[in-house]
Amino acid sequence: MTESAGVGAVAGAGAHIGLIGLGVMGQNLVLNMARNGYRVAVFNRTTSVVQDFMAGPARGVDNIIGATSIEQLVSALATPRRIMLMVKAGSAVDAVIAQLEPYLNAGDIIIDGGNSLFKDTARRAAALEAKGLRYLGVGVSGGEEGALKGPSIMPGGSRDAWEAVSSLLTDIAAKAPSGEPCCAYLGPGGAGHFVKMVHNGVEYVDMQLIAETYFFMRETLGMDVRQMQQLFAQWNQGELESYLIEITAEILGKTDAATGKPMVDMIMDRAGQKGTGKWTAQEALDLGAAAPTMAEAVFARAMSAARDERCAAAAQLPGPKPESVGGHGVSADDLKQALYAAKICAYAQGFELMKLASREYGWELDLGGIALLWRGGCIIRAQFLERIKEAYTRNPQLDNLILDPYFRQVVVGGQEAWRRVVAAAAQTGIPVPALSSSLAYYDSYRRCQLPANLIQAQRDYFGAHTYERVDAPGWFHTDWLVDGDVVSSEPV
């Protein structure tokens, strides 16, 4: 730790913010804050990490102060103190808060910038506010590069805490192409972390849809890596333009130095996950939101992880050989339309989930504003988020994204191609769980009549659960079996 960067050197001035947790995201956020003119005090549980940071990435940056204890960190801060936590979600957050509390005064602000579960955030906010402290749960997206150059920031918590940090967070956030910052107050309690969780659920779906499209190109269309790379790069020039499509093209263009083969072919097909996609699916189930594609994307990762079992099953469970199904009639343009339509229906599910959560928790989420927050800096940043913003500007009460005139025209226009892709995948035995689940969502949502009448009858048959009739109000029960005949339908 250099003298110029030591706590004593700047104690009089008082740092604007403290940051605990110097992982890659934490380090890059500190450098971002410092670049924007903020004085930042930093602490990490393993003090050698602080020393390495100060001697490495922070070397020569005057307004970063390394602290070797929590007490030292807190004493370096201007009041009211603002302390951002960039530690692993879960018990580590509670542990750091407990260590901090004895050194804090009423009005000081703790900002959790990790991927915490929004219910934990709401609990922590309530507990700390009861003690006079202020708390913000802030979703930060964009990976290492975003943290350094400008992430998308999704803050939730008490409004006055937000006001005390809004200029700092807005300054370090990404800016949308229109120039607006990708950072805006979302609502009280866990609202910010909820929106970040849905961002990640959508991220899982986006990645799964792209992966299925790549798999279809490879297995059914027989394209080589170079052709796929060119196609994704070309798609990135149009309405599909997004960070994830862009990096997909770059990934496909990468060669493994050790073997000379495409890098992507050298990577095991076993996907990891840290839990935010799962939370999104769980929350959709809890709130009764129809979000099947969000869940499918999580299941697809679980299936990928069971690789040994899949390889053993592959020898025993034959399916059609892709090359045996000739003339499946799918073009690259069909695939592009299928991907876009499926993506729109998946985002519709994510926005529906946020609408229901907003009602349930009383957050009054601004759905168009959230689309704008995701327009820059984050992993799912994409041109089409501008369209979502426009859709909610046209109609803030929009029931479902696919009812907006622009999205309706894309999905209705693309559905034939989409059906061709899903049908060809089924015929050639290529799993496309997200593409097909999104299509089932569309076909369910657009149908007035679904087969749930039969489900209601079954429920009433075996459990007297009652049902509604199409021709009369109220709830009814039928005595289904008397000598095999229906004998009555009575209101209950």
Which residues form the interface with ligand 6PG (CB under 6 A)? 115, 141-143, 200, 203, 272-274, 276-277, 378-379
Q: How far is the CB of 295 from ligand 6PG (least distance, A)?
A: 15
b/e 191-215 (16+ beta carbons within 10 angstroms → b):
bbbbbbbbbbbbbbbbbbbbbbbbe
**CA separation for the pair 142, 8 (Å, rounded):** 34
AA identity, residue 198: V
AA identity, residue 40: V
Instruction: Enumerate the H helices of 362-477 as residue ranges.
Output: 367-373, 384-394, 405-428, 433-445, 452-463
Q: How far is the CB of 114 from ligand 6PG (least distance, A)?
A: 9
From the CB of residue 20, how many other CB atoms can be counted at a distance below 10 Å? 24
Number of H helices, E strands in the chain: 20, 10
Q: How far is the CB of 199 from ligand 6PG (least distance, A)?
A: 6
Q: How far is the CB of 347 from ligand 6PG (least distance, A)?
A: 15
| Beta bridge mates, 152 | 141
For residues 108 and 206, which CB has a smaller minimum distance to ligand 6PG in the complex? 206
For residues 114 and 262, which CB has a smaller minimum distance to ligand 6PG in the complex? 114
For residues 81 and 193, which CB has a smaller minimum distance to ligand 6PG in the complex? 193
Classified as helix, coil or strand, 465 is coil
What is the bridge-based pairing of β-strands 40-43 and 109-112? unpaired
Q: How far is the CB of 84 from ligand 6PG (least distance, A)?
A: 15
Q: How far is the CB of 182 from ligand 6PG (least distance, A)?
A: 12
DSSP state of 105: -
Task: Show which residues are catalytic.
Answer: 196, 203
| Beta bridge mates, 41 | 18, 65
- Chain centroid to Cα 36, Å, comes to 27
- Chain centroid to Cα 6, Å, comes to 38
AA identity, residue 163: E
Q: How far is the CB of 382 from ligand 6PG (least distance, A)?
A: 13
Q: At what angle do helices 307-314 and 292-305 cross, to 10 degrees?
A: 80
**CA separation for the pair 385, 203 (Å, rounded):** 13
For residues 216 and 374, which CB has a smaller minimum distance to ligand 6PG in the complex? 374
Q: Convert 11-34 into a string of H (helix), E (strand) and C (coil).
A: CCCCECEEEECCCHHHHHHHHHHH
Classified as helix, coil or strand, 341 is helix
Q: How far is the CB of 106 from ligand 6PG (least distance, A)?
A: 32
Residue nearest to ligand 6PG (CB): 141
Q: What do you get for the CA distance between the two ends of the chain, in Å? A: 76
Q: How far is the CB of 272 from ligand 6PG (least distance, A)?
A: 5
Q: What share of the chain is helix, strand, coil (3-state, %, to 5)?
A: 55, 10, 35
Q: What length does the chain have? A: 492
For residues 269 and 416, which CB has a smaller minimum distance to ligand 6PG in the complex? 269
Q: Where are the beta strands (DSSP E) in 22-71?
A: 40-43, 64-66
**CA separation for the pair 435, 443 (Å, rounded):** 12
Dihedral angle sign, alpha carbons of residues 345, 351, 357, 359? negative
Collect contacts of 223-231 with beta carbons under 8 A, ≥24 apart. 225/252, 225/262, 225/264, 225/265, 226/252, 228/252, 229/253, 231/332
**CA separation for the pair 299, 412 (Å, rounded):** 27
